[in-house]
Amino acid sequence: MPIDFTLTPEQRALQLSARTFARRVLPEVGPATRRLATPEARFAATRPFYEEAIREGFLQRLIPAPLGGGGTGLLDLAVVAEEFQAVDVNVSLTLFATLLGLMPLMIGGSPEQVKRFFGPFLARTGAPLAAFGFSEPGGSANFNAPAPAEGVRTTARRDGNSWVIDGAKQWVSSATGWGGKGADLICVVCRTDAAAPPDKAISVIVIEGPADGIVLERALESVGHRAHLTPRFRIENVRVPEGNIIGGPGAGLQLVEGSFTGTAALVGVFGVALMRAAFDFALQFARTEKRGGAVPIIEHQAVGYALADAKTAIEAVRALSWRACAALDAQAPGAFELSLQAKIFGSETAVRVITELMRVVGIDSYDLQLPLAGLLQDALAYPLFDGGNMGVRRRQLHSLLKSPGYDPLTASGAA
């Protein structure tokens, strides 16, 4: 079969419905949230928009079909992510963070767990939130490091037929939920054995919110994603049934790594979305603004070349990210490498390109009334989150390159 990036008719329909929804509903998120003083208030004000996305089926349609949803793979997510993120990152990230929160169950949940936990997320009603409770105060880049490193500090101990969970988490999207006492479902990464090495000690256990032991310390005031909730919170003596552990004690390392593989490719697409929004604005500006001169500024070669470079970068990142998604969907051997490259290259390219487009537009781009500065603020998260490019993603790529038997041609499917 020839190399072909053509979407299937179903994916194309999904893309167009996501675009229509994003353009109709999501432009209002900014005006509805911007002037609110606290992150909690801004997040709360996104709820009607999130509910509308749920009602329109954008969560249900992205959950894999074998689990009761309509999703056919990561490329579906990529297509929706680009359309949503290009208009508003806040509600969009809440949606994708819910998918991330469900990911350990998608990968390692038993049929009984899927049946027990997935109902609200398939229902197309309300505002169900799931969270992936990985990051901890004090850092999580070394979550899988053996002793004497601390690794994961949140613990779960067996007590009769229950697990009792204690610890602290931060930066976990939506984790404390709409009411501050927990998302509907939190997959908590924790240590179930104090003495064992990470591949036997780390587990993922489901907490169903609201739970009394979820204690919100503060919603973090972030540079971008201003209406998306990333709280710091404590988990105090939260007791859950023993059947809430996913894949059994010690399965956590694989569940975390598996969950964060697909997201890496998606972050590349997030980068495309913000670059695309920035490019659309800068192109329009350059075509129409003379800035006191005789001709629109696009007539100046420096401006035209900068736009040309920006557009090239967008297409390159989209191609790499889609390629990574397609490789993950096909479970191709080079998929992990491609998804890491999409994450690193896509996120850093987004920050660079948006900065360059601000130079094209000039001083007015520094005004938050125009979109570019806000897009840069949002893009700054991409190299840092979903496993920072320094502490996690380049390190993973580095280990891959060092591993015996690594073949540089595997990622290109030409080994």
Ligand X SMILES: Cc1cc2nc3c(=O)[nH]c(=O)nc-3n(C[C@H](O)[C@H](O)[C@H](O)COP(=O)(O)OP(=O)(O)OC[C@H]3O[C@@H](n4cnc5c(N)ncnc54)[C@H](O)[C@@H]3O)c2cc1C
Active-site residues: which are they?
386
Residue 390 in contact with ligand X, rule: CB under 6 A = yes
Residue 7 in contact with ligand X, rule: CB under 6 A = no
For ligand X, which is the closer residue by CB, 134 or 345?
134
Q: Any alpha helices (H) in 109-232, and if so which ranges?
A: 111-122, 198-201
The number of helices, as runs of H, and strands, as runs of E, in the chain is: 13, 7
Task: Kindly state the DSSP code that residue 393 receives in the 8-state scheme.
Answer: I
Contact residue for ligand X among 130, 214, 256, 392 (CB under 6 A) = 392
- CB of residue 93 to ligand X, shortest distance in Å: 6
**Sequential DSSP letters for 163-177:** EEEEEEEES-TTTTT
For ligand X, which is the closer residue by CB, 396 or 410?
396
Residue 42 contacts residue 89 (beta carbons within 8 Å): no
Residue 141 in contact with ligand X, rule: CB under 6 A = yes
For ligand X, which is the closer residue by CB, 228 or 276?
228
Residue 233 in contact with ligand X, rule: CB under 6 A = no
Restricted to residues 154-173, the positions that interact with ligand X (CB under 6 A) are: 171-173
Binding window for ligand X (CB under 6 A); candidates: 28-36, 56-64, 383-391, 396-404: 383-391
Query: Strand locations in 115-161, DSSP E?
Result: 130-133, 155-159
Q: What's the token pair of residue 196? A: 């064992």
Report the alpha-carbon angle 88-90-96, nearest 5: 100
- CB of residue 238 to ligand X, shortest distance in Å: 17
For ligand X, which is the closer residue by CB, 113 or 154?
154
Residue 371 in contact with ligand X, rule: CB under 6 A = no
Count, residues near ligand X per rule CB under 6 A: 27
Element housing 93 (H / E) = helix 89-108
Residue 140 in contact with ligand X, rule: CB under 6 A = yes
- CB of residue 392 to ligand X, shortest distance in Å: 5
- How many C-beta atoms lie closer than 10 Å to residue 348's C-beta? 16
Residue 62 contacts residue 14 (beta carbons within 8 Å): no
Binding window for ligand X (CB under 6 A); candidates: 112-120, 315-323, 362-370, 388-396: 388-396
User: Which amino acid is present at 247?
Assistant: G
The residue behind tokens 């009607």 is: 48
User: Which amino acid is present at 388?
Assistant: G
Contact residue for ligand X among 395, 397, 400, 413 (CB under 6 A) = 395
How many whole angstroms separate alpha carbon 379 and alpha carbon 390? 16
Residue 132 in contact with ligand X, rule: CB under 6 A = yes
- CB of residue 229 to ligand X, shortest distance in Å: 9
Contact residue for ligand X among 386, 396, 410, 411 (CB under 6 A) = 386
- CB of residue 139 to ligand X, shortest distance in Å: 3
Contact residue for ligand X among 119, 139, 179, 362 (CB under 6 A) = 139
- CB of residue 332 to ligand X, shortest distance in Å: 25
Phi then psi dihedrals of residue 108, to 5 deg: -125, 10
How many whole angstroms separate alpha carbon 325 and alpha carbon 288? 37
For ligand X, which is the closer residue by CB, 255 or 326?
255
Instruction: Calculate the CA 380 to chain-centre distance.
Output: 13
Residue 387 in contact with ligand X, rule: CB under 6 A = yes
Residue 248 contacts residue 220 (beta carbons within 8 Å): no
Residue 368 in contact with ligand X, rule: CB under 6 A = no
> Prior bond to 210 cis, omega within 30?
yes
Q: Any alpha helices (H) in 110-210, and if so which ranges?
A: 111-122, 198-201
Residue 225 in contact with ligand X, rule: CB under 6 A = yes
The residues binding ligand X (CB under 6 A) are 97, 100, 131-132, 134-135, 139-142, 171-173, 222, 225, 228, 230, 381, 384-388, 390-392, 395
